[in-house]
Amino acid sequence: MESIRKINIVVVDDHTLFRKGLITLLNEINSTGSFFEASNGLELIDMLNKTNPLPDLILLDINMPVMDGVKATEIIKEKYPELKIIILSMENEEQLILHLIEKGVNGYLLKNCESEELERAIKMVMEKEYYFNHDISELIRRAFIHKSNHTYPICEFTRREQEVLELICKEFTTQQIANKFDVSPRTIESHRKNLIEKSGVKNLAGLIVFAIKNKIVKI
């Protein structure tokens, strides 16, 4: 596997063998980074409260004792909104996935995914803040295709903000968008901040969902 830049990752799963195996796999692509472990959501939150600096990324299971991944996500995204979370679970129930995306998770993978997809998801989340494969993107599209009667204040977006949003949904980086419009990355960051504030979402992943709901983009 191609190495990725050094990042600190927390693996959260109640199955010890799975945690250890995943960390072994991750060492191949993140050999200079640090790894932490937790067996449930409460243990994870206790760890985060005592850790400085915070880790870069959490790989989080859903079904765990004491505190599950759903509750842990809600608490973490409220207290540490900048923390990136990729759900790694066998759960494929549509409403659960949509709920977690709307709560701000940055990616969602099934545990039976290929190692190459896990690597790609980590890179995308660290570089562009979100990763949704074709199946998850299609799920989002299907979920909202019949809800066009629900209105959002899209008219509050400026023309440039809508253009930036369309490029974000096409997986352009901040630098790539800045180059396209011949402006500074700081200007694009300002547009992103305005888009997130106006749409009332938590992060870029939520912004993608917002754009799909309102048919700003097609996937």
pLDDT digits (tens, 9 = 90+) for 83-120: 999 999 999 888 899 889 888 899 999 999 999 999 99
Taking all residues of the chain, what is their mean pLDDT, rounded to a whole number?
Answer: 87
Query: CB neighbours (10 Å) of residue 150?
Result: 8
- Residue range 1-32, pLDDT digits in tens: 455 568 999 999 999 999 999 999 998 876 66
Nearest to 105 by CA among 4, 3, 204: 204
pLDDT value at position 95? 87
Bigger pLDDT: 149 vs 64? 64
Instruction: Determine the Cα–Cα distance for residues 155 and 95; give it in Å rounded to an integer.
Output: 28
Cite the residue boundaries of each domain of the chain with CATH code 1.10.10.10.
Answer: 146-213
Domain 146-213 maps to which CATH number in 3.90.25.10, 3.40.50.300, 1.10.10.10, 1.10.3720.10? 1.10.10.10
Domain with CATH 3.40.50.2300 in the chain: 9-142
Residue 158: which residues within 8 A CB-CB, separation 6 or more? none
Task: Tell me which DSSP letter residue 1 carries.
Answer: -
In the predicted structure, residue 42 carries a pLDDT above the cut 50: yes
* C-beta neighbour count of 16 within 10 angstroms: 10
The CATH number of the structural domain formed by 9-142 is 3.40.50.2300
Whether 142 has a pLDDT exceeding 80, the answer reads: no
Does the pLDDT of residue 203 top 70, yes or no? yes
Measured at the CA of 79, the angle between CA 9 and CA 76, to 5 degrees, comes to 45
Lowest mean pLDDT among 147-151, 174-178, 197-201: 147-151
